[in-house]
Structure 1
Amino acid sequence: MKEVTATEAARGFSALLTAVERDGETFFITRGGRVIARIEPAAGTSGAAVKALLRHFPPDEHWAGELGVIRGLLTTQDRQWPA
């Protein structure tokens, strides 16, 4: 993990992003001696993770009925378009 000032990060932003993407580096951005941000590689995701999440939450058996009620509350407005 490297620490760089906001000014350094701004001046070398492309190189900083390349180091994050290619080398997996993490940078702490400082301003006035305080860390204000962290730039790091994005966490990877997979279809397996999504499937596991969906399995964790069972289907809502009332959802379709509730959706029907909500749709029934919608109103339409007839408008006459100018000719």
Structure 2
Amino acid sequence: MRTMTATSASRGFSDLLDAVEHGDTITITRGGHAIAELRPARRHTVGALRERLADAPALDPAFETDIADAMITLDHEITDPWADA
């Protein structure tokens, strides 16, 4: 992990982003104190979502029905009901 001052980070921001894009984590300091940490963004995937939801409790059947009904209503919506408001 690299450390750099806020001034250095602002002067070389494009290079800083390149380093982060390649996996580096960089601590930014001001006045000798760490104030921020730049790291690669987490990539969200369907597989990761499935893993997180694997241990979630099942939906209440009535709630599941309400959601399905709402989706049907949205699928049939032709115009924006708020457009004339």
TM-score, with length taken from structure 2 = 0.65
Which ranges in structure 2 are unaligned for 5 or more consecutive residues?
71-83
**Alignment match, 2:80:** none
Give runs of ≥4 in structure 1 deviating > 6 Å.
Answer: none
- Distance apart, 1:21 and its partner CA: 0.6
1:13-24 aligned within 5 A:
13-22=13-22, 24=23
Q: Does 1:59 align with 2:59?
A: yes
Return the letter of the residue paired with 2:16: L
Partner of 1:40: 39
Could you list the runs of 5+ residues in structure 1 that have no partner in the other structure? Answer: 69-80
Q: How many residues align?
A: 67
Name the aligned partner's letter for residue 61 of structure 1: P
Q: Who wins on radius of gyration, i.e. which is larger? A: 1
Structure 1 residue 49 displacement after superposition: 1.4
CA distance in structure 1 between the partners assigned to 2:11 and 2:54 by the alignment: 46
Instruction: For residue 41 of structure 1, report the CA deviation from its aligned partner.
Output: 1.1
RMSD: 2.4
